[in-house]
Chain A
Amino acid sequence: MSLFAALSIGASGMAAQRVRAEALTENLANAETTRTPEGGPYRRKDVVFQSASVASPFSSVFDAEMQSLGGTGAGGVEVAGIVTDPSPPEMRYLPGHPDANAEGYVAFPHINPAEDMVDLMGAARNYEANVAAISAVKDMIQKSIDLLH
């Protein structure tokens, strides 16, 4: 069933965009964090996407049994990995700060909140687009079911 695969594709897009939104809010929340378990200031995280097939376990077994030619190459999306920004931290002169070095400079995360806000808006809009796709596909499935009435 092609249409149910389209539902899974939309869901994969929603999941990927949510992971991205989580990483972006983490960046915003930690924009001033100078201590991390790894030591040093917080480093900006970014999510990388890659396309992936989203055959559900049931449909892949069913398709194999039916020997159908359903593979049209259409795929969903998944998170390929979360990369950490390697750029050097921003040094601010705050001699009274407990994390200041010998010269009185404190290493702050190199984060531009405007950049993360714009990315966050992009993630939210893409999430909405995936929701619209799912609801359109859901209507089509419902129309097919209505043929039985």
Chain B
Amino acid sequence: MLNALTSDLERYMDLLSARQKLVASNIANADTPGYRTQDFDFQTEFAQAISRTAMSAEPGPPLVSPVSGLALKNDGNNVNLDREARLLSENALRFSAASNLLRGQLQMVRTAIKEGQGS
């Protein structure tokens, strides 16, 4: 996009969307027998996405795997609704912060276009 910061923000928001999709999927499958909670390692994926972008390569989809260490219920399902609720609001807040930062960047470009007059 415009500069390094905006492309990093773009990757960050992409990953947050992908994670939010997984959280929605985990919540929808909270009663599905045998379903295992799915997630990816956010730090690793984000570091990878940034380095790929720096090399002008398109980052691939994140590597999704079942989450370990969650209590298994009798029907073979290990969705923990408290964990999903926390991730749901955390992702939404992070996304909101990132989109506000991105809007600030876009605002600066707009100010430059308008030669500093008005907003």
- Seen from chain A, the residues whose Cβ lies within 8 Å of a Cβ on chain B are 2-3, 5-7, 9-10, 12-13, 16-17, 20, 48-51, 69-77, 122-123, 126, 129-130, 132-134, 136-137, 139-140, 143-144, 146-147
Q: Is chain A's binding surface mostly helix, strand, loop or mixed?
A: helix
Residues 93-108 of chain B: 1 if any A CB is under 8 Å from the residue's CB, otherwise 0? 0011001001100100
Tell me the complex Cα distance, A51–B31, Å: 10
Residue among A3, A51, A143 making CB contact with B32, cutoff 8 Å: A51
- Least CB distance, B23 to chain A, in whole angstroms: 7
Tell me the complex Cα distance, A69–B60, Å: 7
The 6 closest A-B pairs by CB, nearest first: A13-B28, A2-B17, A6-B21, A143-B99, A74-B25, A6-B24
Contact A72 B96, beta carbon cutoff 8 Å = no
Tell me the complex Cα distance, A74–B36, Å: 12
Give 10 A-B contacts (CB < 8 Å), ordered by A residue.
A3-B17, A3-B20, A6-B17, A6-B25, A10-B24, A13-B24, A13-B29, A129-B84, A140-B92, A143-B99
Contact A51 B29, beta carbon cutoff 8 Å = yes
- Least CB distance, A18 to chain B, in whole angstroms: 12
Contact B89 A136, beta carbon cutoff 8 Å = yes
